[in-house]
Structure 1
Amino acid sequence: MNEAYAGREQTEAKHAILRHYLQELALITLGGKEYAYPTLTYVDGFSGPWQSRCGDYSDTSFMIALGVLKDVQRQLVRRGKRPVIKCFFAEKNRISFAQLDAAVRTYDNPSNGFHVETFNGTFQGAIADIMRFAEGFTLTFIDPTGWTEYPFDKIAPLLTRRPGEVLVNYMYDFAGRFTSWSDPKIVESFNGILRPGWPERIDRSLPPGEAAENLFRQEFKDAGGFQYAVSTPIKKLAERTHFCLTYGTRHWKGLEVYRSLERKALKQHDFRRFEAKLAKEEEESGPLMFKASELHQPFTLDAQTEREKHSAAEWLIKMLRERGRPIPFGQVSPQMLDRFALTPSEAKDVCVAMADNALILPTWLDVGSKRKKPDKRDLIILVVPPDGGTAPSLGASLS
């Protein structure tokens, strides 16, 4: 267990997703053949530091980003490339800003293509400076402590900047509690992210937290003009979602990479939470006979994935019936990943299991093909006629 994150396991999960996604994004956008850009700009709108336990700030988002991007730049230089990386850090608290500025200033090295700029003020107040500073592909990380300091209409130029993606830490638990209140001031406080009139648009048939998050994700998607917007629920020790990382992208490739890294991070987070629970139990009751690695069984995450697979299969049957025609897997997969917490490989597994259950045709097994799973060219063809009939059972498992 990383002691720097003891009691902050949810922050460790958040940082793991940021670290690994930023690394993959930088390698793809700066070093890839298909999507290469000469410059990558990283923007951190609420940089801190907050609650850092490391003297070198290695447990903060800004230092994680700098470390990842410097390492990527070194890798690409060794390949003969000359990538330009730009980092913009905003922090309104003067004391925190002084610490931030001192920590990141030494990374500013324009002559070697690494630029760092800091801003002491609100995130929305920094938008004009960010837009002047940003070049190439932009990843924006918005990690506030509440929900009032990043109104979509004020930060719209950055949300809609192309090419670019945005990662927002949405305070699920707090927002879910307060959106159920009718106090006019509280209602107004959500106007920036849920839009005025949101109490009439929120789905009151759902639990408050889920209803508010659904509306937030849709408003975020619309505000940024994103093709895909997905949320990753992060829990504290209690079995309750503390916050959601909400990711917006306009490209299926980003969605695939994010979903894959999300699953790895959640598996690690699930184990870290289990470790922390055992440590707490040991502190209260004395030494335990077994270690966390010997006891841990990720049944919760596995069961959730199984439910997602079944829901995805039902959704696909419905879509095929409504369309009344075959659909290439290359169109099915991004839509499935956008709606369900599945990896690209699991989206293929859903189709394989559906074919095994005689729901769709296994077109990827055509004569001469050695593939066991569909690729983007394969047509997904419904077996049950679109105009009626009862679909065969999905089976007990879609694994």
Structure 2
Amino acid sequence: MTNVYQGREQTEAKHFILRRYLQTLAFKTLHGGWATLAYIDGFSGPWKSQALDHSDTSFMIAVEVLKDAQAKVRQAGKRPRIKCFFAEEDRDAFTQLQAAVAPHHDPANGFFIETFNGKFENAVGQIQKTMANSFALTFIDPTGWTGYEFDKIKPIFEHAPGEVLLNFMFDFVNRFSASSDLATLASFDGILGANWQERLDRSLPREVALMSLFTEQFWKAGKFEYVLNTPIEKISDRTHFHIVYGTRSAEGLAAYRDVEYAALKSHGMRRAAAREEIRESKTGQAGLFGAAEMASMAEISMEAQITSIRNKAKDWLREQLPTCPKPFSEIWPPMLDKFMLRKTDAKQVCVELGKAAEIKETWRLNRSKRRTPDDTDRIEPI
């Protein structure tokens, strides 16, 4: 376990997703023809940072990843520009933030950093200037549920091309949205929409119902093609927050699902190991399985869950067959949108249906040795 994240495993999972996805996005956009990448951090902090160099904060993770990506793309002869915008309302935290990032502001080499001391909602105009003529990723990581009302920050969400990662603090929202205080209940209107209490589907589990309202408002604010949410649990197996991702790109969808899988696998293993370490420290007795063995068992459990989800995706694809043939490029995006699967899982679903003689193995025609379909292969029933 990384020492700076001791007892903060959920924060480590969040930063894992941010780091991996930003790395993927930076290389894809900068190699793919975009000259400028903008990164917007709406609630920068630092909060509860345990590292002297703030390497366990979102803003320093972003600076590190983006500087590395810029340097590597330059080796290919390109001159990419990186623009970072960090907003923080708390004055003391902002002072630390400014001191940490100032040495990395390097306009001569195309690396720009702008800081803002104030409410994220009040920085929209400046952020739009930063995002102009760039591909943008916005990361919103509040300590609660206020400060990012969708009607106020809608221009940031609507920037195209652009994507959003948002930490929805479900645990706090779940507790305080059950309040009887009218002012507290009204404070959720900005992210759950007007009359949200009447619109909340009480026939569903509360977490599902709340996430449904939130993702609907998130989707409307950005007019996204795909909105995904990744639950991150505490050691106690209770959901702490959801990472919500919005994109208009099928390739972005595929990239995020890859990162999500790696993050949940790693987080599950860390949680299992941490639980065993806590148990041993409390009882003073070693368990039947050590921390490493518990982590391995968690990995096996996740693979079993993926297999179960793939089986559900098979049923979904069976329902689509009457509208086929379609190229695989029209099959995997809606599958990944609906199910927590990677593109490689979507291929495996097709392979298994092919072996069961439910669809044609078109990827093996003309003596092809390919074992899985690619985007141009037609998916059609026998």
TM-score, reference length from structure 2: 0.95
Count of equivalent residues: 378
Q: Determine the structure 2 residue equivalent to 1:355.
A: 354
Q: Determine the structure 1 residue equivalent to 2:279.
A: 281
Uncovered stretches (5+) of structure 1, i.e. residues with no partner: 384-399
Displacement of 1:180 after TM fit? 4.5
- Cα RMSD (Å) of the superposition? 1.6
1:1-399 counterparts in 2 under 5 A?
A: 1-32=1-32, 36-135=33-132, 136-181=134-179, 183-286=181-284, 288=286, 291-295=290-294, 296-297=296-297, 298-321=299-322, 324-383=323-382
Q: Determine the structure 2 residue equivalent to 1:395.
A: none
Larger mean CA deviation between 286-295 and 132-141 belongs to: 286-295
Larger mean CA deviation between 280-289 and 201-210 belongs to: 280-289
Residues 283-316 of structure 1 show CA distances to partners (whole Å, capped at 9, x for unaligned) of 1122537542234312432232123212212222
Partners of 1:377 and 1:29 in 2: how far apart?
Answer: 23
Partners of 1:382 and 1:201 in 2: how far apart?
Answer: 40
Partners of 1:125 and 1:307 in 2: how far apart?
Answer: 45
Instruction: In structure 1, give the amino acid aligned to 2:23.
Output: Q
Larger mean CA deviation between 306-315 and 257-266 belongs to: 306-315
Displacement of 1:365 after TM fit? 2.3
Residues 368-399 of structure 1 show CA distances to partners (whole Å, capped at 9, x for unaligned) of 2221111111222235xxxxxxxxxxxxxxxx
SS at match of 2:47: coil
Instruction: In structure 2, give the amino acid aligned to 1:327.
Output: K
SS at match of 2:243: strand
Displacement of 1:182 after TM fit? 5.7
Partners of 1:215 and 1:107 in 2: how far apart?
Answer: 39
Partners of 1:182 and 1:320 in 2: how far apart?
Answer: 49
Uncovered stretches (5+) of structure 2, i.e. residues with no partner: none
Structure 1 moving runs of 4+ over 4 Å: 180-183
Displacement of 1:162 after TM fit? 0.7
Displacement of 1:357 after TM fit? 2.9
Partners of 2:379 and 2:184 in 1: how far apart?
Answer: 47
The answer (yes or no) to whether the contact 2:274–2:291 under 8 Å persists in 1 is no
Distance 1:328 1:178, change over 3 A: farther
The answer (yes or no) to whether the contact 2:46–2:97 under 8 Å persists in 1 is yes
Q: Quick check: which one's helix share is greater?
A: 2
Partners of 2:359 and 2:152 in 1: how far apart?
Answer: 47
TM-score, reference length from structure 1: 0.91
Residues 141-178 of structure 1 show CA distances to partners (whole Å, capped at 9, x for unaligned) of 00001112111110010000011100000112222344
Displacement of 1:31 after TM fit? 1.7
Partners of 1:27 and 1:95 in 2: how far apart?
Answer: 34
Give me the identity figure in percent: 50
Partners of 1:204 and 1:316 in 2: how far apart?
Answer: 30
Distance 1:175 1:132, change over 3 A: same
SS at match of 2:366: coil
